[in-house]
Amino acid sequence: MKRASLCAACLAAAGLTFGQANTPRQPIIDVHMHSESLKNLKGWGPNPVTGKKAPESVEEHIQQTLAEMNRYDIVLGIATGDLETAEQFKKAAPDRIWAGPSFGIPGLDVEKLRGLYESSRLNIMGEVVAQYDGLSPSDPVLDPYFALAESLDVPACIHMGMSFPGITESSPKFRVCLGNPILLEELLNRHPKLRVWIAHMGFPYLEETIGILNVYPRVYVDTGAIDWIERPEAFASYIKTLVMYGFEKRIMFGSDQMTWPDAIGLAVEAIEKGDYLSAEQKRDILYNNAAKFLRLSPEQIAKHHGASSK
């Protein structure tokens, strides 16, 4: 879909400017999406920023998320959640969704997972949310999963940083200190070939995130949730600092839409509106960095760009 093909009224309704409307959309990769269970859809309430209520079924959540992907030309999304909904999401759009199992305390059978990766039913390890279960990402109990990911060259997404205010009421083992990216260091040295990305840019652990990115060139970060939940100034300050330190080629766009598909647009627009980023830096964050990290083929990249201009 081209922005230029939209009518002026549609553009106004979508909050877009005429200046933007003259530029066809470029493809976007969203590396941080979730397939959500009915329990989460029912239990998490409305979008905390927009107040829009969550979809009422898993099917509706998938359809609304795919509709937002269409709207913003998101040509590839990484959707993680419980095994059942992650697979359901992938089946709904197999060319555009990569799936992963999200887990904290591991209860998944490693050999079963191996089969799911080898048959490409799963593509990503994580989002590993061990922080919610009181575990460091380097805890040995997680090691068989990261060893599997390393042996199969499957990228791993690890939740680092924060959660919602009051999270310990529902996740009593959650600890702020377990979101510090410095805790990745043992894991990274144990598995020197494991491709890892830090979810949420490690926010608010800026210095530790810079340290890890400096020492471990294979580590990337995603902008998930911070790009729409945090105040725009806080997001801008954080991402600007990462860019200032030279990491603009290792920041990947993520929405972390959770149970609220309308968050995808908020997240895309936070990057697009960032006048502190150059056009090239925006393209890197919205597509190129993820394409490199995920090792997309030249054919896949060409297809993404061709499809987006039709």
- Interface map 171-200 toward Zn ion (x if CB under 5 A): ----------------------------x-
> Order of strands across the sheet with 28-34?
28-34, 74-81, 97-101
User: Token pair for residue 145?
Assistant: 């999963």
> Contact at 8 Å (CB) between 197 and 252?
yes
- Closest separation between CB of residue 126 and Zn ion, Å? 9
DSSP state of 76: E
Task: Say how far apart CA 179 and CA 177 lie, in whole Å.
Answer: 5
Residue closest to Zn ion, measured at CB: 159
What beta strand segments (E) does 243-307 contain? Answer: 251-252
Which of 6-14, 153-161, 210-218, 235-243 is the region at the interface with Zn ion (rule: CB under 5 A)?
Answer: 153-161
The size of the chain, in residues, is: 310
Contact status: 159 vs Zn ion (CB under 5 A): yes
- Interface map 112-151 toward Zn ion (x if CB under 5 A): ----------------------------------------
**269 preceded by cis ω (within 30°)?**
no
Q: Which residues pair with 78 in a beta bridge?
A: 98
User: Token pair for residue 186?
Assistant: 């043992």
If the CB atoms of residues 125 and 199 are measured against Zn ion, the closer one turns out to be 199
- Closest separation between CB of residue 297 and Zn ion, Å? 28
Which of 23-31, 70-78, 107-115, 155-163 is the region at the interface with Zn ion (rule: CB under 5 A)?
Answer: 155-163
- Closest separation between CB of residue 102 and Zn ion, Å? 8
Amino acid occupying residue 197:
W
Which of 96-104, 159-167, 177-185, 281-289 is the region at the interface with Zn ion (rule: CB under 5 A)?
Answer: 159-167
Residues that bind Zn ion (CB under 5 A): 159, 199
